[in-house]
Structure 1
Amino acid sequence: KSHITSYGKIFKTILNKLSVTEYRKLKMAGVLDRKRRADEVSRGFMKLHNIIMQSGIKISGNCLSLCCGRGGWEQYLCENFSSITNIDAYTFGASAGTMGHESFSDRPWRFKDKVNVTYTDVRLLWDNGPPVGYNWIFFDGGEQRPNHQTEADNFFELFALGVVRAVSPDVNFVFKVLRPDDIRVLQACQHVVNMTGKGKFFLCQHSKTTNLELYFVSVPCDQSIEKQVKKLLNYRLSRGATTSQDRIIVPDRIP
């Protein structure tokens, strides 16, 4: 069994044993943070900026945004890529049945009129096949849970049904991958690579050290999916490696 596929359980078990003080210290260890602009609707704005700067991608045309939440990604895209024609955004939104989810922001921003928001469950959108006419697909979904298996199962279902089924051979993409250690998720990402010929993982410098999220972007890469993930997670863990009372809080690498 691959070490990487068992790491989520180990990582979550360690996190659940931390004191509040230890958790808070670890959360921001090695994280590049900056003061948000007053009009930024979420941290997603600066996180997408960081991924785009690392990957060098240029966005244009028609965009599909899945699990957009408050709209930080849409705000960044509208303000920084005039070549975007429109963004069709889908999200659960806030309701009694969608605890932990937020509605799309009502704050104004430049070119917000390019965004069309629909509240729905993205897992149900592609039963009749993938969408057509989109140049880019964005995905910022996935919720952290205390139980590692529940978190992994929920994310895989969302990713497999709501995201991977929307991919076609010619589309470009930026996907948040909450659980890149899960073998099912790795296989789904490999399926995307096989279909599109592209797929490279990036670690956002603004991502907190108390999660394993990486970002999967449509740029070429000659390294295997698992090697990419292992390299980035080892680097991420080294940011937060520390000890307390002679016990390891976070291991500094995956064996």
Structure 2
Amino acid sequence: MKIATFNVNNVNRRLPNLLAWLGSARPDVVCLQELKAEDRAFPEAALRAAGYEAVWAGQKTWNGVAILARGARPVVTRRRLPGDPSDLQARYIEAAVEGVLVASLYLPNGNPNPGPKFDYKLAWVDRLVAHAANLKAASVPVVLAGDYNVAPTEADIYQPNHWAGDALVDPQARAAFARLLDQGWVDALRAVQPQGPLWTFWAYIRRRWPNDKGLRLDHLLLSPDLAARLRDAGVDRSARGEDNASDHAPAWIELRP
């Protein structure tokens, strides 16, 4: 079973890129973020023609998350992260697919830091940590996949001193990510490749992609029982180099049956 996460950065604008990648990579399950499309504008028909059923939570202009499954229909269990009924931003969706509970999440960026947006980021990740604890206690196979907007360590950014003070590397955000690992969730990419760059994001500015100045912001965290099935993991870097590409590349895992 191959599960991927991809911040597509506008699902309709990047639809040709997404379809080309689906055709070549052939993941079984895909978590998408930053759809930038209302529910009615989601390209369901085009994805179905490519062999994928989908569930999604859209939002005009920003945010939006989805889960795609090849040859199967995801069964939605949640369309919002619990803990704050007043939060209407489309940043979390959860569904069962072929015996695995899959969450697609888009954690807030948090900039400018400090400020209200960073406070919202910390509150959101606190809710994620609480929900993750409940999922883990349920003893079901779970993957929490998405754009976490956190580079967890200094090894996950091309030049740390250039990003000091940014919400993506803030010590409080990193500590919140570490709390997930402390619960027992396994960072799949680092489990397979403990050392070296694993960039998943290259900003459009200042030739960051041609100069390979990236960050690792996209993660797949596995419950311990699912981690025992981990066979491989990686990043499809070539997708970032295509015309009209998202500023993120897909990250993926492969699981044993």
Q: Fold match, TM over 0.5?
A: no
| Larger CA Rg, structure 1 vs 2 | 1
The higher relative CO (CA closer than 8 Å, separation ≥ 6) is in 1
In terms of fraction of residues, the more strand-rich structure is 2
TM-score (norm 2): 0.39
In terms of fraction of residues, the more helix-rich structure is 1
